[in-house]
Structure 1
Amino acid sequence: MRKLLLATLLGTTLAGTPALAETINLKVIGQPLATGLIQKNKEQPFFETLAEKTGLPLSINYKPLDTTGIKDVEQLRVLKSGLFDLISLRMSQVSRDEPTILGLDLVGLNPDFQQGRRVVEAYQDTVDQRLQERFNTKLLAVWPFGPQVLFCKHPINSLADVKGLKVRVYDQNLAQFVESVGGVPVPVAFGDVHQSLALGMIECAITGPSSANSAGWPEVTTHMLPLGFQLALNGYGINLKTWNKLTPEQQQRLQAAFDELNEDIWSYSEELFLDASRCNVGAEPCTTGTQYDLVDVPVSEADLATLASTVQSVSYPTWAEQCNKTNPDCAANWQRDLADIAGL
């Protein structure tokens, strides 16, 4: 009788004890260390405190991209395979595998942060649907490094002066634009740009002012033309199998955390852009970077007009033709979402 009573009490106690939540293991690839302050001050701390922020039983293994041996152009393939659960996607680079993505940031489409927000809000769901269909990936957020501008180790007075110069580019759309203004586009990985400039393998390169400052580009260049060609959008993608293992409540908490991070990075990115633009040319205040003395090349009306006409004359038609080859609805979907915003 005593054994039966003990067993009954034990069973009652166990039944009344909540089950321990199963640990959710997430293998995460972040932005490269070389890209600077957004990775250091926003992204990595976010993942380090994500379990506490969401209240979810998360165990996160976070690695910056340039510590993994994985190339940025391989990110979507890695996500699809399930080798990593969540990746900070470098959108222009992964668009080689899925051209639909590049529709977010065609050259000339996003000259500033305000336009970029409108474009992302209108087109993000279309990109997300495509990634889910082809790469088993859900898009959690899209954010910018900020306007991508021109750095040269060759004296320039305007955009026209890149004619004949070798210019580092990071996607095919930008390459076609550089070619259209007489430059020679050269694809170079971000981490290799400093050395390529120093050795004279290229004469100019395009990136954001803050990333350039963090990577020391002003050490090997002399001029900066602050004309924003693209916003260098990035996004967080999660493997759908990983996402679907979460309960609806867990999904809601995780998405809410990424929504908050996304807003934070949009604001921080604009702060960094303005400050680093000053730092690079020796202006004050300079609080987030190293102060250099690049020549601040004035942006002319002719430069602005060239960029404004680029979407219709170069970047959209060449991209649409390429994108439709792999996604027959690509251009039509882009027109549906963005024609009015782009002024086409």
Structure 2
Amino acid sequence: MRHYTLPVAATLVASFISASAVAAPDSIRALGQPVGSGAIQNNLEQPFFENFAERTGVNTQIRYSPVDTSGVSDAEGLRVLRNNLFGIVSLRLSQISGDEPTLLGFDLVGQNPTYEIARQNVDAYLPVADARLQERFNSKLLGVWPAGPQVIFCEPEINGLDDLRGKRVRVYDNILGNFMSNLGAAPVPLSFPETQQGIARGVVDCGVTGPSSANAAGWPEVTSYVYPLPVQMAMNGYAINLNVWNQYSDEDQARLQAAFDELVDEIWAYSEELFEDASRCNTGGEPCENGRPYSLTSIEVNEQDLQTVNEAVEARSLPNFIELCDRTNPSCSADWKATVGANLGL
């Protein structure tokens, strides 16, 4: 029988304990985007999680549930993540911003007029948001991506922002609600799955979402007009509970991060393709490759409204964001100004 000296035996025991401490979990529950939100969830997100071990190179199986089939509200993403009811969550950042207003800094009205500028702003701000989620929600932010430019769908006829005065408009965060209030509209917070029926029943006159999501959820069936003025990008993100994250070795953590980086890059590119295609589908244009054809009337965007949105960051959105965010996170606006604000020259 071989006998180990004490130092060698101690080293072996320590190695065994260390290996046990970072044993990858066999299975994780993941909460996804709503099925009704469309092609990003169907064609990229769900297949990624269904083939998680193959995509990441780690031996973990995922039990994946879209949020609208799980019994969980999309506003509860951070809470279920912190409590490890789901180990990974596809966060809808505007919807969860009531729990963490810092996340609003990814997408103030007028902040992200193009995909290129939006990506620069996201990359700059992600470390700020990640640090905040780690501190308050025991969660690591793995990446952030856009659903795409958010535009205005209405059943009553409109010809520009001035025509929203007096109308009830579905919004999904406080920054957008404040912007609509300043236009004289009545902002109505509705979850995405409720909005199509809300328009059909006259609960709201108009709603803001992306063309692809609107197409998938049947908004053109209950609206007649679309005003393709982008006001936001509707950012989303992937986050993992830190207790789950810390079960992985350093090598597996690197593999996970690389896989999510790849998925996020795919979604950024796909989001832009979907936006252009769905914009054509919704208004009877060709080619219409990924959605259902509809015949909405598209209203030409006027220069005054473009200027209103471009000026909204400094004039409206940023003051509103500072008021909301600095209450709970004293360094919030300073962090935003040092990252996104610097990118925008503010």
Bin of the TM-score, shorter chain as denominator length: over 0.9
Matched with 2:128 is 126
Q: Which amino acid aligns with 1:30?
A: G
Matched with 1:141 is 143
Once residues 168 and 124 of structure 2 are traced to their aligned partners in structure 1, the CA distance between those partners, rounded to angstroms, is 35
Once residues 205 and 338 of structure 1 are traced to their aligned partners in structure 2, the CA distance between those partners, rounded to angstroms, is 27
Q: Which amino acid aligns with 2:258?
A: A
In the alignment, structure 1 residue 288 sits paired with structure 2 residue 290: yes
Consecutive unaligned residues of structure 2, counting only runs of 5 or more, are 2-18
> For the Cα contact (< 8 Å) 2:165–2:183, is it kept in 1?
yes
- Residue of structure 1 aligned with 2:189, choices 164, 187, 194: 187
- Residue of structure 2 aligned with 1:110, choices 87, 92, 112: 112
Question: What whole-Å deviation, never above 9, does each CA across 1:177-202 have from its counterpart, x for those lacking one?
Answer: 00111111001111111111111111
- Residue of structure 1 aligned with 2:324, choices 299, 322, 325: 322
SS of the residue aligned with 2:91?
A: strand
Matched with 1:203 is 205
Once residues 307 and 217 of structure 1 are traced to their aligned partners in structure 2, the CA distance between those partners, rounded to angstroms, is 23
Q: Which amino acid aligns with 2:285?
A: A
Give 1 or 2 for the bigger CA radius of gyration: 1
Q: 1:22 to 1:212 in 2, by over 3 A?
A: closer
Question: What whole-Å deviation, never above 9, does each CA across 1:15-53 have from its counterpart, x for those lacking one?
Answer: xxxx99765321100001110110000000001111012
In the alignment, structure 1 residue 217 sits paired with structure 2 residue 219: yes
- Residue of structure 2 aligned with 1:65, choices 64, 67, 71: 67
> For the Cα contact (< 8 Å) 2:24–2:249, is it kept in 1?
no
Q: Which amino acid aligns with 1:271?
A: E
Once residues 32 and 55 of structure 2 are traced to their aligned partners in structure 1, the CA distance between those partners, rounded to angstroms, is 18
Matched with 1:51 is 53
Q: Which amino acid aligns with 2:152?
A: L
Percent identity of equivalent pairs: 53
| Alpha-carbon shift at residue 212 of structure 1 (Å) | 0.1
Once residues 244 and 230 of structure 2 are traced to their aligned partners in structure 1, the CA distance between those partners, rounded to angstroms, is 37
SS of the residue aligned with 2:169?
A: strand
Once residues 264 and 340 of structure 2 are traced to their aligned partners in structure 1, the CA distance between those partners, rounded to angstroms, is 21
> For the Cα contact (< 8 Å) 2:150–2:208, is it kept in 1?
yes
Q: Which amino acid aligns with 2:188?
A: V
Matched with 1:267 is 269
Matched with 1:98 is 100
Question: What whole-Å deviation, never above 9, does each CA across 1:69-90 have from its counterpart, x for those lacking one?
Answer: 1111111011111111000000
| Alpha-carbon shift at residue 57 of structure 1 (Å) | 1.1
| Alpha-carbon shift at residue 97 of structure 1 (Å) | 0.4
Q: 1:129 to 1:23 in 2, by over 3 A?
A: closer
Consecutive unaligned residues of structure 1, counting only runs of 5 or more, are 5-18
Matched with 2:13 is none
Matched with 1:155 is 157
Once residues 59 and 341 of structure 1 are traced to their aligned partners in structure 2, the CA distance between those partners, rounded to angstroms, is 39
Matched with 1:14 is none
| Alpha-carbon shift at residue 342 of structure 1 (Å) | 2.5
Once residues 222 and 22 of structure 1 are traced to their aligned partners in structure 2, the CA distance between those partners, rounded to angstroms, is 51
Describe how 1:27-46 pairs up with structure 2 within 5 A: 27-46=29-48
Paired residues in the alignment total: 328
Question: What whole-Å deviation, never above 9, does each CA across 1:282-308 have from its counterpart, x for those lacking one?
Answer: 111111101111111011100100001
Q: Which amino acid aligns with 1:95?
A: S
Q: Which amino acid aligns with 1:40?
A: N
Once residues 210 and 245 of structure 2 are traced to their aligned partners in structure 1, the CA distance between those partners, rounded to angstroms, is 32
Q: Which amino acid aligns with 2:199?
A: L
> For the Cα contact (< 8 Å) 2:278–2:290, is it kept in 1?
yes
Once residues 319 and 148 of structure 2 are traced to their aligned partners in structure 1, the CA distance between those partners, rounded to angstroms, is 24
Q: Which moved more, 1:220-229 or 1:20-29?
A: 20-29
- Residue of structure 2 aligned with 1:229, choices 231, 255, 269: 231
Matched with 2:308 is 306
Once residues 139 and 197 of structure 1 are traced to their aligned partners in structure 2, the CA distance between those partners, rounded to angstroms, is 34
> For the Cα contact (< 8 Å) 2:151–2:227, is it kept in 1?
yes
| Alpha-carbon shift at residue 258 of structure 1 (Å) | 0.4
Question: What whole-Å deviation, never above 9, does each CA across 1:52-74 have from its counterpart, x for those lacking one?
Answer: 12221111111110111111111
CA RMSD of aligned residues (A): 1.5
Question: What whole-Å deviation, never above 9, does each CA across 1:236-293 have from its counterpart, x for those lacking one?
Answer: 0100010011000000011110010000000000000000001111111111101111
Q: Which amino acid aligns with 1:310?
A: A
SS of the residue aligned with 1:229?
A: strand
Question: How does the TM-score come out when normalised to structure 1?
Answer: 0.93
Describe how 1:70-81 pairs up with structure 2 within 5 A: 70-81=72-83
Q: Which amino acid aligns with 1:256?
A: A
Once residues 24 and 285 of structure 1 are traced to their aligned partners in structure 2, the CA distance between those partners, rounded to angstroms, is 44
Matched with 1:252 is 254
Q: 1:301 to 1:62 in 2, by over 3 A?
A: same
Question: What whole-Å deviation, never above 9, does each CA across 1:85-139 have from its counterpart, x for those lacking one?
Answer: 0000000011110000000101110122111101101100000000000000100
